[in-house]
Structure 1
Amino acid sequence: MSTQIQIRDIKINVYKYNTLVIGSGAASLNAADSLYKLGQTDIAIITEGMNKGTSRNTGSDKQTYYKQSTTIIDEDSPLKIAKTLYDGGAMHGDIALVEGALSLKSFYNLINIGVPFPHDKYGQYVGYKTDHDENSRASSVGPLTSKYMTEKLEEQVRKNGTDIFDRFLVIGILKDIDKNESVGVLTIDTKNIDNSDYGLTLFNCTNIIYGTGGPASIYHRSVYPKSQSGATGIALEAGVKGHNLTEWQYGIASTKFRWNLSGTYQQVIPSYISTDENMEDEREFLEDYFENPSDLLNAVFLKGYQWPFDSRKLYNNGSSIIDLLVYIETQVKGRRVFMNFMKNPNCVGGEFQFNLLGEEAYEYLSNSNALFGTPIERLKKMNPLAIKLYKDHNIDLESEPLEIDVCAQHQNGGLVGNIWWESNVKHFFPVGEVNGTLGIYRPGGTALNSTQVGSYRAAEFISKVYTEEPMDMNEFKDKIKSQVEKKIDFIKNIKVNKNKSSNLIEFQQELQKEMSKHGAFIRRILEVRKSIDEFNNTFKSLTELIHINDLNELPNVFRIYDMIIAQLSLLNSIEEYINYGGDSRGSYLVHNKNGDYEIDYQGINLRYSLENTIGDKVCETQINQNHSLMEFKQQWNKVRPIPEYKSWFENVWQEYRENKIYGGINNED
């Protein structure tokens, strides 16, 4: 603690650092370690919980890390990766080039600290192809790749002796408003909440590296770990621009234990069953849509490769029909849906007739020596760790069906950052998923690459350019006083009734269900507009609508506060995209009554088009606070192309020696 300052009637502890790293996932930990190794040791990590984030708690059947290919069978380069990322649409070419250029540096750093990516006897880190990829760039250490990364990066940070403020919740990004620069954060020390100071703690800093992950709490149907909430909302509230907020990935996942059901979970072709709320009236519902068994079996198999819902894969019995049929059962009919690995689909007629499969599915199972038995028997052969994963979470795929739904998994969009990951607010660097570098379509595993590249770039820029001490305490208090007072006033307006149970859980769930119904992968403009009005009214009256039993629930109030801002930002971005003429793209379907394609099934009619995807532009979103209301400003910008220039070594060497590559202190380049 550097000192205390008094604001209103509260004495608040204040700490000073050159750089605060917020979050404890793969991006944040790499940022802290990179800063230290680059010579900037005046740093601290602030986290809600070291073990709470997405990096630590999620994965898939074979979680992918995407990098430049390093084997003799694939000719590759940073430019080729950049083109792959750029061609996915709505991604800036200069960002794509940086993510390609630093992919191997980041990958080998992870290897050097002990992440066990596999290589052959010649030292080649052999890869495999992932979705939307033309090279074998993918690597993996199994279902828990990001967990291994996070654990090894944490070892480095602890070895460095970096200060860690654990169980501190950030509730406000503090700015020098005149200069549009971040100067600190307001937090709640969740271990020390009391009536006198509410656990409020201030941090005065020169720089903020913001690695809080995606806005994990905004949906009810979600594969994010329940321990993660995200903090995109308070960054948007502070004037940080968002872009591509509309772009998410949605796909089939288990709900009791939140996990993506991609890869071998689908390739073993389990049966899909639907029941009523009491798990009665069981039936296999996919057969109602597919006219022949081969189309059904191939669509399920392809969900392994094509896990995210993709609006282009609906036509002609494409794999994304599976997602849509699950959605109709769960969210339209109100039934429950399960994947059953204990029995083959009814349509195969008892013993599996593998000749019903298409060539791709048949060859895959044949090459895996799995043309036999039931789905669970095939899964044991092809990926026994996939069974163990669920057993470790008290779910036995050998004896019980697995409840599923179509869930939000990852936001491709997020907060704006330039080629050094600095946002429009100076000294504020969003890294990892909270930074929206990725566009409409992206190869699987690029998100993990982005966590490492972006966090290193932010650390490099800070260590070379933003090295000054934080402002003195009197100036700091003067700059942030009114911003902190606003949060204190909000806290004091919250109703605390020790004789009444809190309504936070039910209140939050209702908002999350609304988002899953109207702001997820099926989007209708009238429903979006209705939701915007409802969420605006909720935010305006938040302290009147909620009540808590105890002050220790204060952090959950602020998580809801952040969540609503993120929800409103997404809904307004969806409305803007549809108003601009945007059709279905990426992982969502935009209902268009005059659309080129139609799905008419059991009373559900969806029309959609795929023509106008606006992939050559990016929509930026910024909040202008107007008293208790938030006004949203939207701006469409042309996508920046991949840079083309002749790099002459001697010239680059000189610019590097003279620090000219950083574009000067104003970061104009």
Structure 2
Amino acid sequence: MRFCKITVGDYEIPVYSCNTVIAGSGAAGLSAAVRLYDFGQKDIAIVTEDISAGTSRNTGSDKQTYYKLSLEGSEPDSVREMAETLFEGQCVDGDIALVEAALSVQCFMKLVDMGVPFPVNRYGEFIGYKTDHDPRKRATSAGPLTSRLMTEALEREVREKNIPVFEHLLIVKILKENDKVAGLLCLNLTPGCDREKMFTAFCCKNIVYATGGPAGMYAHSVYPESQHGATGVAFLAGVRGKNLTEWQYGLSSVKPRWNVSGTYMQCLPCFFSTRQDGSDRKEFLREYFKNDGELLSKTFLKGYQWPFDVRKARKGSSVIDILVYIELFLKNRRVFLDFTKNPVQNIDFSVLNDEAYNYLKKAGALFGTPVERLLHMNAPAVEFYKNHGIDLSKEPLEIALCAQHNNGGLDVDIWWRTNIEGLFAVGEVAATHGVYRPGGSALNAGQVGAFRAARFIASKRTGDPADIASFEEISRPQIEEITGLAAKVFKNRSNVNELLDYTRRRMSEVAAAVRDIHRIEEYIRYVAGLIENFAEKVCISDRRELKDVFILYDTLISQYVYLNAMKDYIERGGKSRGSALYYDPDGELIGNLPEMFRFKPDDQGMSNMVQEVTLTRTGVKFNWRPVRPIPAEDGFFENIWRLFRENGSVY
């Protein structure tokens, strides 16, 4: 790594030059750094806002899942079969599905060797279970904090290898030369940093973009508050998006942000809502369900069927998500789970459906209050909230319908390359999933993507970046654009956090699990106007708020692109699918719900198509193409061996 300084206007900007910069310090980013080092590319650096922040380190569930090829028992499995399962998620490219399946064991075992405690039986088999959208027992778990354990193990490797980590840096610009990576520009968040030293630049040949999902778009989010993403920065650099319409939303607690899936629902808690001031308690589920058996059974199933799934909205448990949405947005109320009280008086477990009754009977939990059942079935789930200051045996838990995972993102190929030369996207920021995905497949995708990007860089993109004189010439006008924006927003008042709160809440209301083209179009106009007049409409009075200015700008760009993708999907005849209900005046209405929940279920007419999205100077451009099928490769060993020996043939 080389170091120098350049001067741009009033700013003295340190510049670090190396072959590859890894942007982000979650499980995917850290894995990419470790793999690059192991493959021999050691001229690298990690750039992060805070290595202790982000989704990988600060999220989980009652049993966080890792998905990989089955490694136990007598049940047959194969790479091809796992690829087919991933491919069947709709709008998934088959070649990427095949790579994720083929490398799942190698990446999983790397984590095992680093000390992540995935459970084995006494014969050494890695015991699995079936997760959602999983025909085999491919799922495993190291507990509620699986991704944190992965991240901690990977960080230990990074520290042991002395890979440079630059903290307190917020990515604000991908620097380019035409359609090729030139470097990164970051805002320096170090406390007490002088104004002239507010920016830091990196000159590099490659960027591994591991910034996570665009969590900052939504107010109601299970992403940790430390995760906001930087997808907008990538769109501004011309990176193509893919499958942006496809998300997962589900019920989660507000403080702390945590999925209330699994046993949190299977213990049958009581749902209620209040006014904003906490008054007027109302157990709103009772107003919808016909009898106690239906209410209790649907609540139980919400644990199995945690993500909102429009297929389960009419007769399944996802109607509960809609009822929560109504309380939050149509009635402007707050929603809580009460684990101290049963949802029906004198609870009679025999009215449960067979699946729920048999599960609770087998678990020995046909007794008591919800918290007593939860303690019996999953005591750590209660302990988790107690460690965060909430005693479920004494107080209610506030929840919302939250954004949890973006199945789409930045378009990549089988080496996780984007359409910008030298820019690779790994982890949730990369679009390798479709409408549906097996639970835990995102953790596998992040590790596989990191492996592939690192392998390609170490084999085909070695060497030094541009010399400093060339870098300065290329980057100066791009840096001046950012410093100019920073100067214009300084005024004698501040509204940046107010705008962040408003835009995020509007996104949760009109473009999350419930979508209507008219409300989406209305909000697009607002976002477009705010972007166009950003420097005039956004103001701060303190330099410490500059971070929020760039987060707001990234959020607005992301919202604008995602909203237009949703609009385009509807205009092309797209119907309700996955975790999104699209209003259709010619559709069917669920029960006695308001008109806005009338919809047509997806007929899979677009399931073999991918929506590609590009932000341009004049708006958003779309391209629809067929999914790439799962490749039918020649499996004859001598042929593959010969090609493998011929340097570069696999790339």
Aligned to 2:638: 650
Residue identity opposite 2:121 in structure 1: D
Per-residue displacement from partner, 1:262-305 (whole Å, max 9, x unpaired)? 00000111111111222222121111111122111111111111
Once the two structures are TM-superposed, the CA of residue 96 in structure 1 deviates from its matched residue by: 0.3
1:583-598 to structure 2, matched below 5 A, reads 583-595=575-587, 597-598=588-589
Per-residue displacement from partner, 1:529-550 (whole Å, max 9, x unpaired)? 1111000001111121222121
Query: Does the aligned pair in 1 maintain the 2:489–2:536 contact within 8 Å?
Result: yes
Would you say 1:608 and 2:599 are equivalent positions?
A: yes
Aligned to 2:329: 331
Structure 1 range deviating more: 469-478 or 258-267:
469-478
Distance in 2 between residues matched to 1:633 and 1:258, nearest whole Å: 35
Query: Does the aligned pair in 1 maintain the 2:11–2:198 contact within 8 Å?
Result: no
| 3-state SS in 2 of match to 1:598 | coil
Would you say 1:247 and 2:239 are equivalent positions?
A: no
Consecutive unaligned residues of structure 1, counting only runs of 5 or more, are 664-669
| 3-state SS in 1 of match to 2:204 | strand
Once the two structures are TM-superposed, the CA of residue 625 in structure 1 deviates from its matched residue by: 2.3
Aligned to 1:380: 375
Distance in 1 between residues matched to 2:171 and 2:227, nearest whole Å: 13
Once the two structures are TM-superposed, the CA of residue 604 in structure 1 deviates from its matched residue by: 4.5
Structure 1 range deviating more: 188-197 or 298-307:
188-197
Query: Does the aligned pair in 2 maintain the 1:599–1:605 contact within 8 Å?
Result: no
Query: Does the aligned pair in 1 maintain the 2:31–2:154 contact within 8 Å?
Result: yes
- Relative to structure 1, is the Cα distance of residues 376 and 661 closer, same or farther in structure 2, using a 3 angstrom cutoff? farther
| 3-state SS in 1 of match to 2:482 | helix
| 3-state SS in 2 of match to 1:33 | helix
Per-residue displacement from partner, 1:49-70 (whole Å, max 9, x unpaired)? 0011000000000000111101
Instruction: Name the count of aligned residue pairs.
Output: 649
Q: Tell me the TM-score normalized by structure 2.
A: 0.98
Distance in 2 between residues matched to 1:384 and 1:484, nearest whole Å: 52
Aligned to 1:475: 470
Distance in 1 between residues matched to 2:192 and 2:201, nearest whole Å: 14
Per-residue displacement from partner, 1:552-602 (whole Å, max 9, x unpaired)? 22111111111110010110000000001000000010000011x212536
| 3-state SS in 2 of match to 1:622 | strand
| 3-state SS in 2 of match to 1:50 | coil
Once the two structures are TM-superposed, the CA of residue 193 in structure 1 deviates from its matched residue by: 6.6
Distance in 1 between residues matched to 2:491 and 2:159, nearest whole Å: 39
Out of 326, 340, 343, the residue aligned to residue 342 of structure 1 is: 340
Query: Does the aligned pair in 1 maintain the 2:262–2:304 contact within 8 Å?
Result: yes
Out of 496, 500, 507, the residue aligned to residue 499 of structure 2 is: 507
1:260-275 to structure 2, matched below 5 A, reads 260-275=259-274
Distance in 2 between residues matched to 1:604 and 1:404, nearest whole Å: 24
Deviating 4+ runs (over 4 angstroms): 192-196, 602-605
1:452-601 to structure 2, matched below 5 A, reads 452-497=447-492, 500=493, 502-595=494-587, 597-599=588-590, 601=592
Distance in 1 between residues matched to 2:228 and 2:594, nearest whole Å: 36
| 3-state SS in 2 of match to 1:586 | coil
Once the two structures are TM-superposed, the CA of residue 12 in structure 1 deviates from its matched residue by: 1.6
Query: Does the aligned pair in 2 maintain the 1:25–1:53 contact within 8 Å?
Result: yes
Aligned to 1:389: 384
Distance in 2 between residues matched to 1:153 and 1:304, nearest whole Å: 31
- Relative to structure 1, is the Cα distance of residues 51 and 294 closer, same or farther in structure 2, using a 3 angstrom cutoff? same
Once the two structures are TM-superposed, the CA of residue 661 in structure 1 deviates from its matched residue by: 3.7
Once the two structures are TM-superposed, the CA of residue 235 in structure 1 deviates from its matched residue by: 0.4
1:183-332 to structure 2, matched below 5 A, reads 183-191=182-190, 196-316=195-315, 318-332=316-330
Once the two structures are TM-superposed, the CA of residue 513 in structure 1 deviates from its matched residue by: 0.9
Aligned to 1:666: none
Residue identity opposite 1:586 in structure 2: G
| 3-state SS in 1 of match to 2:304 | coil
Distance in 1 between residues matched to 2:600 and 2:136, nearest whole Å: 30
Structure 1 range deviating more: 600-609 or 260-269:
600-609
Once the two structures are TM-superposed, the CA of residue 30 in structure 1 deviates from its matched residue by: 0.3
Query: Does the aligned pair in 2 maintain the 1:43–1:163 contact within 8 Å?
Result: yes
- Relative to structure 1, is the Cα distance of residues 450 and 420 closer, same or farther in structure 2, using a 3 angstrom cutoff? same
Query: Does the aligned pair in 1 maintain the 2:12–2:197 contact within 8 Å?
Result: no
Query: Does the aligned pair in 2 maintain the 1:414–1:435 contact within 8 Å?
Result: yes
| 3-state SS in 2 of match to 1:601 | coil
Distance in 2 between residues matched to 1:366 and 1:143, nearest whole Å: 24
Aligned to 2:70: 69
- Relative to structure 1, is the Cα distance of residues 603 and 592 closer, same or farther in structure 2, using a 3 angstrom cutoff? closer
Query: Does the aligned pair in 2 maintain the 1:504–1:546 contact within 8 Å?
Result: yes
Structure 1 range deviating more: 246-255 or 483-492:
483-492
Distance in 2 between residues matched to 1:194 and 1:271, nearest whole Å: 50
Residue identity opposite 1:544 in structure 2: E
Distance in 1 between residues matched to 2:146 and 2:599, nearest whole Å: 37
Once the two structures are TM-superposed, the CA of residue 411 in structure 1 deviates from its matched residue by: 0.4
Distance in 2 between residues matched to 1:543 and 1:395, nearest whole Å: 42
Once the two structures are TM-superposed, the CA of residue 472 in structure 1 deviates from its matched residue by: 1.0
Distance in 2 between residues matched to 1:195 and 1:111, nearest whole Å: 44
Residue identity opposite 2:373 in structure 1: R
- Relative to structure 1, is the Cα distance of residues 506 and 62 closer, same or farther in structure 2, using a 3 angstrom cutoff? same
Distance in 2 between residues matched to 1:51 and 1:68, nearest whole Å: 30
Would you say 1:26 and 2:14 are equivalent positions?
A: no
Query: Does the aligned pair in 2 maintain the 1:252–1:405 contact within 8 Å?
Result: yes
Q: Tell me the TM-score normalized by structure 1.
A: 0.95
Distance in 1 between residues matched to 2:189 and 2:332, nearest whole Å: 38
Distance in 2 between residues matched to 1:209 and 1:662, nearest whole Å: 20
Distance in 2 between residues matched to 1:192 and 1:291, nearest whole Å: 57
Once the two structures are TM-superposed, the CA of residue 194 in structure 1 deviates from its matched residue by: 5.4
Residue identity opposite 1:234 in structure 2: V
Aligned to 2:350: 355
Query: Does the aligned pair in 1 maintain the 2:186–2:199 contact within 8 Å?
Result: yes
Q: Identity, % of aligned pairs?
A: 47
Query: Does the aligned pair in 1 maintain the 2:267–2:370 contact within 8 Å?
Result: yes
CA RMSD for the aligned pairs?
A: 1.3
